């Protein structure tokens, strides 16, 4: 499957962002008309509402679109109450895909991704269930999201050892302000020949170009530590944003375009997810399609935020490894 360099992320369609279904559908059509052929959503986005909106938008255009969705995050409100409605167990994988197919109003999903690792289920079981979906024609390819490099490699080893379909893609968080994946995740994906679909290029609004990047973002409610200005990490980040804003002005670019151009410049990146909430945001992001950053601009970015830097760990929505949380696993 060949995909456009920009993918339309649908997280902001529905209760989490834009509640106007008709406007959201028009935004999806605008992106498709502009040459975007890749749409990514997830069952957990507005508890399925995003998938419903995407399904409406793709009526009559399904064959022209590479459609991706995800499973594994909790689908039982309030979150985390039912352990059987989350994760990568075969029972949930087979239930979740049927629910997504129904909401998306489609017979198949092009890319079905595991939204987060499941420390309670063996990868052999999850990959086995996903392989069954591929053989059944309900899914064309499978991928993972926000997996550490060692788990990406383990998943490939398990697939080869047990004859399962492998994860073909990884969807990590990546921006100028969140560069940890440069050290191991992106090199691992390159060595394994995986496609990389990155999310968060504007770093939850920090690189949106707003006068005050800590205001006006509904992400603050989901991740307060990422916007708490009493934390030293966020003060450092704000200083970096100010320097990046100056650099964008010198380069004659909006800050949003600098941010997108940076992510696209990495050779491992196949497609960058843009997740607009409004038509105005969508138009601005689509205008960055042809942005190519000069070498001196990329060098200056490296000076402001060095490669591999994680300014604030709160940016990475990853559960800590069980070996660090459960002291019994660290002591004889």
Give, to the nearest 10 degrees, the angle between helix 149-162 and helix 123-135.
60
What residues have CB less than 8 Å from 281, skipping those under 6 apart? none
Residue 280 corresponds to which tokens in the numbers above? Answer: 């105005």
Residue 329 corresponds to which tokens in the numbers above? Answer: 């696993």
DSSP string, 88-104: S-HHHHHHHHHHHHHHH
> DSSP letter at 165?
P
Residue 274 corresponds to which tokens in the numbers above? Answer: 């843009």
> DSSP letter at 71?
E
45 is catalytic: yes
Rounding to the nearest 10 degrees, give the CA dihedral for residues 295, 298, 299, 301: 160
Chain position carrying tokens 């989350």: 86
Of these residues, 45, 112, 174, 199, which one is catalytic? 45
Contact 71, 100 (CB under 8 A): yes
Residue 94 corresponds to which tokens in the numbers above? Answer: 């087979």
- Cα atoms in the Cβ-side hemisphere of radius 13 Å centred on 191: 10
Active site residues: 45
């Amino acid at each position: 499957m060949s995909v456009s360099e920009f993918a339309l992320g649908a997280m902001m369609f529905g209760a989490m962002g834009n509640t106007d279904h008709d406007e959201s559908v028009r935004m999806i059509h605008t992106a498709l008309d502009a040459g975007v052929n890749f749409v990514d959503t997830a069952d957990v986005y507005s508890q399925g509402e995003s998938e419903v909106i995407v399904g409406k938008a793709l009526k009559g255009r399904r064959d022209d679109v590479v459609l991706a969705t995800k499973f594994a995050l909790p689908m039982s409100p309030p979150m985390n109450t039912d352990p059987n409605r989350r994760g990568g167990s075969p029972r949930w994988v087979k239930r979740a895909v049927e629910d997504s197919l129904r909401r998306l109003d489609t017979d198949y999903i092009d890319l079905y991704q595991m939204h987060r690792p499941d420390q309670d289920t063996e990868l052999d079981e999850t990959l086995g269930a996903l392989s069954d979906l591929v053989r059944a024609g309900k899914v064309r390819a499978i991928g993972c999201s926000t997996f550490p490099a060692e788990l990406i490699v383990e998943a490939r080893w398990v697939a080869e050892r047990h004859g399962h379909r492998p994860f073909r893609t990884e969807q990590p968080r990546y921006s100028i302000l969140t560069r940890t994946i440069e050290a191991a995740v992106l090199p691992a994906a390159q060595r394994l020949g995986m496609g990389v679909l990155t999310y968060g290029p504007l770093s939850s609004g920090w690189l949106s170009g707003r006068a005050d990047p800590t205001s006006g973002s509904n992400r603050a409610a989901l991740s307060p530590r990422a916007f708490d200005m009493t934390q030293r990490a966020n003060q450092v980040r704000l200083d970096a944003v100010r320097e990046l804003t100056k650099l964008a002005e010198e380069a004659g670019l909006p800050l949003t375009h600098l941010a997108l151009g940076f992510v696209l410049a990495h050779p491992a990146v196949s497609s960058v997810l843009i997740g607009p909430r409004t038509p105005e945001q969508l138009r601005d992001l689509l205008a960055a399609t042809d942005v190519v950053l000069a070498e001196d601009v990329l060098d200056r970015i490296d000076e402001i935020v060095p490669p591999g830097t994680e300014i604030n760990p709160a940016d990475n929505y990853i559960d800590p490894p069980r070996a660090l949380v459960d002291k019994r696993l660290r002591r004889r």
